[in-house]
């Protein structure tokens, strides 16, 4: 799609950090060019800054199984949802790390998995209306027979259960709502679309 605007079409009037704890909240006052060429009035928005993440779909191409994790999420609790969510492996990209570095590290930390290959699927914004967070999505080739048990870093309060299931069953869980984490839904739907290509690439 053609990019109609440039950096000159946004004016940040002020930016202030209004909260900084485990996460950070910044308040922006800005204006931007409209599609008709005029400028908006000043707009005030609070932006949630939580960093950028890598997400990894662990896929056993030989058995056509995926490895998923389950863990407690306070955001789901606050939303009134069942707070133990089925997800993909994921982690925040720290300073000095690449998204792929994090994908390899988190595969082992959260699932005890040691991928034999990994491809980058693409990047996306999670909720651009109020957060700067982006995700880099990867698909890692794993041996599902070696993946089980409880994982996570105790000093980070992590309690993560990993389990494997057929990819078709994971897709059904997305459709009926048992998997409702957006990162996992995107990853599994991508796999359903690209599975034949992945199998050709990894199986020859």
pLDDT recorded at residue 121? 97
Class of domain 53-203: alpha beta
For residue 184, count other CB atoms closer than 10 A to its CB: 24
Tokens of 129: 């209306």
Cβ contacts of 67 within 8 Å, gap of 6 or more: 58, 59, 60, 89, 111, 113, 142, 144, 147, 162, 163, 164
pLDDT recorded at residue 157? 74
Report the 3 state secondary structure along the chain. Answer: CCCCCCHHHEEEEEEEEEEECCCEEEEEEEEEECCCCCECCCEEEEEEECCCEEEEEEEECCCCEEEEEEEECHHHHHCCCCCEEEECEEEECCCCCCHHHHHHHHHHHHHCCCCCEEEEEEEEECCCCCECCEEEEEEEECCHHHCCEEECCHHHCCCEEEEEEEHHHHHHHHHHCCCCCHHHHHHHHHHHHHHHHHHHHHHC
For residue 179, count other CB atoms closer than 10 A to its CB: 21
Residues of the chain with pLDDT under 50: none
pLDDT recorded at residue 167? 97
Domain layout of the chain by residue ranges: 7-48, 53-203
Residue 127 phi/psi, 5-degree rounding, is -150, 80
pLDDT recorded at residue 32? 97
Entry field: residues in the chain: 204
Single out the residue of 66, 52, 152 nearest to residue 115, CA to CA: 66
Known catalytic residues?
156
pLDDT recorded at residue 93? 95
Cβ contacts of 189 within 8 Å, gap of 6 or more: 171, 174
pLDDT recorded at residue 27? 97
């Amino acid at each position: 799609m053609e990019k109609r605007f440039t950096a000159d079409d946004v004016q940040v009037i002020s930016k202030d950090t209004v909260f900084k704890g485990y996460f950070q909240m910044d308040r922006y006052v800005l204006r931007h060019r409209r599609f008709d060429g005029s400028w908006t009035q000043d707009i005030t928005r609070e932006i949630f800054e939580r960093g950028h993440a890598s997400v990894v779909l662990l896929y056993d191409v030989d058995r056509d199984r995926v490895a998923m994790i389950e863990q407690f999420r306070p955001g789901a609790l606050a939303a009134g949802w069942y707070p133990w969510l089925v997800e993909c492996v994921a982690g925040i990209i720290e300073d000095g790390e690449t998204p792929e570095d994090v994908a390899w590290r988190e595969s082992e930390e959260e699932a005890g998995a040691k991928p034999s290959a990994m491809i980058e699927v693409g990047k996306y914004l999670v909720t651009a209306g109020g957060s700067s967070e982006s995700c880099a999505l990867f698909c890692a080739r794993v041996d599902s027979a070696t993946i089980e048990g409880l994982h996570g870093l105790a000093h980070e309060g992590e309690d993560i259960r990993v389990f494997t299931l057929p990819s078709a069953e994971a897709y059904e869980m997305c459709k009926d709502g048992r998997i409702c984490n957006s990162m996992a839904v995107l990853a599994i739907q991508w796999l359903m679309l690209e599975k034949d290509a992945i199998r050709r690439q990894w199986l020859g």
